[in-house]
Amino acid sequence: MFDLFRSRAKAVRYLLGALLMLVAISMVVTLIPGFVGAEFAPENIIAEIGDDVLTAREVQIIVQQQLRNNAFPREMAGVYVPLIVNQMIADRAVAYQAERLGFRVTDADVALVVESMMPQLYQDGKFVGREVYAQVVAQQMNMSIPEFERNVRKQILLTRLFNLVLEGVVVSDREIEEEFRRRHEKIKLDYVSVSPSDFRSKVGVTAEELKDYYERNKASFQIGEKRNVDLIVVEEAGVAKAIQIPDEELRRIYQSSQERFRTPERVKARHILLMTAGKSDEEKAKAKAQAEDLLKQLKAGADFAALAKAHSEDSGTRDNGGDLGWIVRGQTVENFEKTAFTLKPNELSDVIVTEYGYHIIQVLDKEPARLRPFEEVKGELAKEESTQRVYDRMQELADQARAELMKNPTQGEQIANRLGLRFLRLEKFTPGDPIPGIGGGADLEEAVGSLAKGGVTPVVQVGTNRLVVAAVTEVFPARQAEFAEVEDRIRETLITQKAQEMMQQTAKRLEELVKSSGGDLEKIARALGLSVKSTSEFGRGETVEGITSTVYLEEAFKAPVGQVVGPINAAGQVLVVRVTKRVEADMSKLKEERNEILNALRRQKAQERKELFEDGILARLIQEKKVKIHDRNIQRLTALYRS
């Protein structure tokens, strides 16, 4: 919340959240073979929205970044790519509709957002120049300035229109009470359960069955292509040891860049916020009264951090007691700034009003504008300069190792030893195998996986502190697996299948017994040779011993005490349950959670409304032929990830 609150300009406040995706785009993007170049060729166009074109490259930038951040498993990329494409198309459709409705984005709007995203482009309030701007955008976004600013404009349009649509989301007191009850009511159960694990020990598999399964499914048993790979690893820690920067040099850097170390007047503050945006006059009056009550408690000695955690609606600072850290002039909205810079250390403000709501501010510390002395910044300078030199040296060593490997791909170990670098040899490596001492290396696996014998990868960054270059010294072609190589796998498959079949037969009998026994759980258990078990009290979503998932027990939560419910299919387990106790939520504690529940329900409703709004706009624009989606190209892109 505070990231939005603290920016003075409305355009910036609206957009910081929506632009997080842009900020996250990696400095290095690995494009999938087959889409490099010819970006606007017909086969590389994913969708056309008005005069705008969404290309495969733009989708790949997002997908590859998500993969690097482990947002989803690499093997699931084929499932997630269409979802990412759909969202990108929907976002652009909404931005296009906003333009049609007369929303306009000025260069000043874009400049405000760029300044908020990239403060390093402004020194003492002055723009450092287009050349540096281009470098930063290329490094952080893998885009040109026009591409980047075009995306910023789209996000501005999209966010402005969404803000209008989402205004006035209302949550009733009844909905809050129902959600509180849902969260806190508990039940206790007696139950009978069956699962495949109950039958695994009762099934057997003969040698004939194993052989027969292999022969019938032989084509599915393949040993994938494998490679012997030599790796040369450049590690930050090793390179850093060799770099020392004398004090004299650090002092020269300090003298030549003193402006960097001038700090403006600033205050360290914390606050409690009760929001008024989107609330009725009655709700605003209640919020003001609550703020005044909190102020009285604070003046009487109450703990500020504890009250902020319990009552503040600034989700960005609430969990750390309302702490805003250090703020400077121009960083917050006007009335907040005026108050914060007027207060003395440890002084409390009155209840103040901003466009976000009612605030109580406490200033913890103040600093005048000053030039930080050399001794204070020496450590920062040393770390900064050392880091830059380490990275430069790492890249230099990696490039040198690669150049030598290109000439002699079988001499990896000798090259690594000569350069003082780490060497690893992987025997019969398959993408997905662990790489000892390296960790996850999806980009490295991808680079190695396409090489023939003698091939050398580009320099690949692995994690945050390693550069790796690899040479393939041998390739073992994919082949049909022999029976002995997959016998254990087949046995496990057949045991699982038989156990599942036995469980299904028992579950069917269980259903018949529920109907014929009149709900006598003990009688049902005896008929199947099972036992009745009991749970402790539990709420929705809690873990209960003996039950694989309580997510499927909603019907039991609604049933009266004594009622038998089931059979219930619960994540591979079949249950018949009897409700033995119900513990109602303690409504006297609702007040403590009311604001949190209110905000959660608002977010939920806003998200639902947003999705409906997106779907409606997209359907209309497709009908008007303003949006054209190239399904074949989406399928082609998805297939590359699936393979």
pLDDT tens-digit series, residues 312-331: 988 778 888 999 888 887 77
Answer yes or no: do 357 and 430 share one domain: no
Q: Are 580 and 556 in contact (CB under 8 A)?
A: no
Give the model confidence (pLDDT) of 294-306 as tens digits.
999 999 999 999 9
Residue ending a domain, among 350, 368, 386, is: 368
In a domain, 352, yes or no: yes
Question: Which of residues 372 and 582 earns the better pLDDT score?
Answer: 582
Residues 40 and 127 in one domain: yes
Task: Output DSSP code: residue 379.
Answer: H
User: For residue 113, which of 207, 23, 237 has the smallest C-alpha distance?
Assistant: 23
* Shared-domain flag, residues 492 and 563: yes
Domain closes at, from 304, 333, 368: 368
Q: 513 pairs with which residues across the strands? A: none
439 pLDDT band (50/70/90 cuts)?
Answer: low
Q: Is residue 465 part of a domain?
A: yes
Co-location of 487 and 472 in the same domain: no
Q: pLDDT (tens digit, 9 = 90+) per residue, 377-435?
A: 777 777 676 677 777 888 888 899 999 999 999 999 999 999 889 899 988 888 777 78
Go through the chain and tell me how many residues it has: 643
Task: Residue 396: give its domain's CATH number.
Answer: 3.10.50
Contact (Cβ atoms closer than 8 angstroms) between residue 578 and residue 563: yes
**How confident is the model over 226-273, as pLDDT tens digits?**
889 999 988 887 777 777 777 777 777 777 777 777 777 888 999 999
Instruction: State the total domains in the chain.
Output: 4
387 & 463 share domain: yes
Say if residues 121 and 128 touch (Cβ distance below 8 Å): yes
- Please indicate, yes or no, if residue 257 is contained in any of the structural domains: no
35 part of a folded domain: yes
Which residue in the block uniquely carries the two structure tokens 């990412």?
84
Indicate whether 27 pLDDT > 50. no
**Cα separation, 112 vs 7, whole angstroms:** 10
Q: Are residues 15 and 162 in the same domain?
A: yes
In the prediction, which pLDDT does 11 show? 34
Paired tokens of 274: 């009760």
Whether residues 420 and 565 fall in one domain: no
567 cis-preceded (ω within 30 degrees of 0): yes
Q: Let me know if residue 597 belongs to a domain.
A: no
- Specify whether 117 is located in the same domain as 15: yes
What's the CA gap between 367 and 268, in Å, rounded? Answer: 9
Look at the pTM and tell me if it is higher than 0.75.
no
What is the predicted pLDDT for the residue at 82? 85
pLDDT tens for 134-153 read 777 777 666 788 878 888 88
pLDDT of residue 441: 65
Could you tell me the pLDDT band of residue 1, with boundaries at 50, 70 and 90? very low
Per-residue confidence (pLDDT) for residue 37, from 0 to 100:
39
CATH number at residue 25: 1.10.4030
Q: How far apart are CA 95 and CA 103, in angstroms?
A: 9
Do 350 and 393 reside in the same domain of the chain?
A: no
Integer Rg of the chain from CA: 31
* Domain end call among 583, 612, 634: 583
| Residue 237 sits in the same domain as residue 276 | no
Q: Is there a single domain that holds both residue 213 and residue 129?
A: no
The answer to whether 154 and 91 are in contact (CB under 8 A) is yes
Domain assignment of residue 211, given as a range: 186-221+483-583
Whether 588 is in a domain gets the answer: no
> Per the domain annotation, does 594 fall within a domain?
no
User: Per the domain annotation, does 290 fall within a domain?
Assistant: yes
Do residues 364 and 462 share a domain? no
